[in-house]
Copies of this chain bind each other. A is one copy, B any other.
Amino acid sequence: MRRSLLQAAAAEFDDRGYAGATIQGIADKLGKSKGALSYHFPSKASFASGIVEAFYRQVPAIVEPYREDGSFGIGSLIAVCLEVAQRFRDDVMVRAAVRIQREAKVVEIVLPTPYIDWLAITEVALRGARERGQVLPGLDLQATARVLVSGFFGTQQVANDLGRRVELVDWMVDMWRIVLPGIVGAESQTVLEQAMDRVRAHSAQNTGESASEPA
């Protein structure tokens, strides 16, 4: 129940943004009355927080399959980035969560500070990459994490605002192609292709089971 309400709310926020969305619009998508929603979600802001929380709860499950020998390396990082881009392109819950976060400052709902978690995950993976000797000596890991997270959010936003979301995964690949020589050096082409193969293998493996999450 809670999940199907959030799904309908996500479609409403994805269509109309936080400011444009209404509880009535969510109720219409479900074919229910407004009153029927208010037990679980008493306000528009509570729907918005529910969607953002659901997104952050997904993160460990997105990251987990991409460990390399138990921890994270540069290949993990690329794979997770492409996987999240794919979900943003295809999954209305992810799109709504991103849009709500982007609009949060404008509409003054309180949400966790964005970027912080992604910066931390990225830095952990870069540290793993350094331990494996995958990155260039002397690389500033904190600055690199910032460049990658900024590039990721920027690319997502440009693709979205220009109405070219279907190309998002390809655009992320372009980003990696350009930044990797400055991170791993001469191995960049191989590193990128291996990570792309892992995402493809993981997607193929999950086809058919993706819609069966518990309600």
Q: Which residues of A contact B (CB under 8 A)?
A: 17-20, 103, 105-108, 113-116, 140, 143-144, 146-147, 149-155, 157-158, 161-162, 171, 174-175, 177-183, 185, 188
Kindly state the separation between the CA atoms of A175 and B178 in the bound complex, as whole angstroms.
Answer: 11
Q: Is the CB of B162 within 8 A of A158?
A: no
- CB of A114, distance to nearest CB on chain B (Å): 6
- A116 to B162 Cα, complex, angstroms: 9
Residue of B106, B149, B158, B182 near A178 (CB, 8 A) is B182
How many angstroms from the CA of A147 to the CA of B175 in the assembled complex? 6
In the bound assembly, the distance between CA atoms of A91 and B214 in angstroms comes to 50
- The answer to whether A19 touches B177, judged by C-beta atoms less than 8 angstroms apart, is no
Which of the listed residues A18, A143, A149 has the most CB atoms from chain B within 10 Å of its own CB? A143
CB-based closest 4 A-B pairs: A154-B154, A150-B154, A143-B174, A181-B182
- Specify how many copies of this chain sit in the oligomer: 2
Q: Are A171 and B155 in contact (CB under 8 A)?
A: no
- A114 and B19 alpha carbons, distance in the complex (Å): 20
Query: Smallest CB–CB gap between A54 and chain B, Å?
Result: 21
Residue of A114, A157, A183 with most chain B CB atoms under a 10 A cut-off: A157
User: Which of B116, B147, B175, B180 touches A155 (beta carbons < 8 Å)?
Assistant: B147
Q: A19-B107, A113-B162, A143-B178 are in contact. List 4 more A-B contacts (CB 8 A).
A: A19-B19, A113-B161, A147-B175, A151-B175
What's the minimum C-beta distance from A174 to chain B, rounded to whole angstroms?
A: 4
When chains A and B are docked, how far (Å) is the Cα of A139 from the Cα of B57?
A: 39
Supposing A17-B105, A105-B17 touch, asked if A150 and B175 sit within 8 A by C-beta, the answer is yes
Which residue of B106, B153, B174, B179 is within 8 Å of A106 (Cβ)? B106
Tell me if B158 and A149 are in contact (CB < 8 A): yes
A116 to B140, CA, bound (A): 32
Return A5 CB to nearest CB of chain B, in Å. 23
Chain B residues near A171: list those with CB within 8 A.
143, 146-147, 150
Contacts of A115 in B (CB 8 A): 158, 161-162
